[in-house]
Amino acid sequence: MFYEDQGNGLPVIFLHGFPLDHTMWQHQTAALKGSYRVITPDLPGMGQSDIPQEPMMLDEYANRIIALMDHLNIHKAVLAGFSMGGYVAFSLLSKAPERFTAVILSNTRPESDSQEARINRFRMAASLLENGSVTARDAMLPKLLTGHTLEKDSHRKEMLSKTMLAMKPEGLVLACLSMAYRKDSSELLAGMHMPALVIAGSQDIVTPPEIMEQMAKLIPNAHYAEINGAAHLAPLERPEDYNRILLDFLQKLGS
């Protein structure tokens, strides 16, 4: 599994979304690595990580993250998950809560897929095999950034598009199937006993702010923050606002 490990201090592990890789966290890595140890893996089958040769449910993605922590001698870390990375975070918190001291859930949702959403994942998987990663790029790009950013910031749009087109379709198919069969994590969240930060984008249509706010209410003592002018990919679209909220949360945890 590909990963980057930068800086020293309290370890923070960032898990990216679909169909993305560790580069979605570039602004958070830059802002944190002076004071924290920042670990940004590419989930199996995505980015520069190899395609797994076994069926992948979210628990298997989580197992690989625990193995990476063991490999890096990280006993405990702060866990940050964005969207699909949030689903992997739920699985990690259910399997090995003792390995995490705090959690940041960004643009994600606790409930499992409806039957309709599941069928759409199968359609996406079929089209990925037929047409390649352009399927995922075309489906996701208009949702990741606001219309305003897509229109005004061609550099960011092109960079994201390139990242998504470079994905291996088979890896994305495994990710689609794992998300289609994910469990509901509401009960897990309601029973959580660690500092939690929930971050939403005001214009996110994939994981709308209403859902994120409800999720934050489920988690005992969670802090909820909404970023104005951000669509789904809030950490990359509004990095300054995002980092301010993130650093404020991390600083309160101490070291």
Residues forming the site for ligand MLT (CB under 6 A):
17-18, 83-84, 179, 206, 232
C-beta closer to ligand MLT: residue 17 or 110: 17
What backbone phi and psi angles, to 5 degrees, belong to 181?
-105, 20
Q: Which two tokens stand for residue 153?
A: 């910031």
Handedness of CA 125, 131, 134, 139 (dihedral sign): negative
- In order of 141, 159, 161, 245, the CA distances from 240 in angstroms are 21, 19, 22, 9
C-beta closer to ligand MLT: residue 160 or 179: 179
The least distance separating ligand MLT from the CB of residue 47, rounded to whole angstroms, comes to: 13
The least distance separating ligand MLT from the CB of residue 138, rounded to whole angstroms, comes to: 14
Q: Which residue has the tokens 């001291």?
A: 101
C-beta closer to ligand MLT: residue 206 or 219: 206
The least distance separating ligand MLT from the CB of residue 45, rounded to whole angstroms, comes to: 13
The least distance separating ligand MLT from the CB of residue 170, rounded to whole angstroms, comes to: 17
Residue type, 142: P
CA 204, CA 201: separation in Å to the nearest integer?
A: 5
CA 83, CA 208: separation in Å to the nearest integer?
A: 11
C-beta closer to ligand MLT: residue 24 or 102: 24
Distant-in-sequence, close-in-space partners of 150: CB < 8 Å, separation ≥ 6: 141, 142, 157
The least distance separating ligand MLT from the CB of residue 185, rounded to whole angstroms, comes to: 13
Please, are residues 191 and 46 in contact by the beta-carbon 8 Å criterion? no
The least distance separating ligand MLT from the CB of residue 202, rounded to whole angstroms, comes to: 17
C-beta closer to ligand MLT: residue 72 or 211: 211
Query: Per DSSP, which regions of the chain are E strands?
Result: 3-6, 11-15, 37-41, 77-82, 100-106, 196-201, 223-227
C-beta closer to ligand MLT: residue 10 or 15: 15
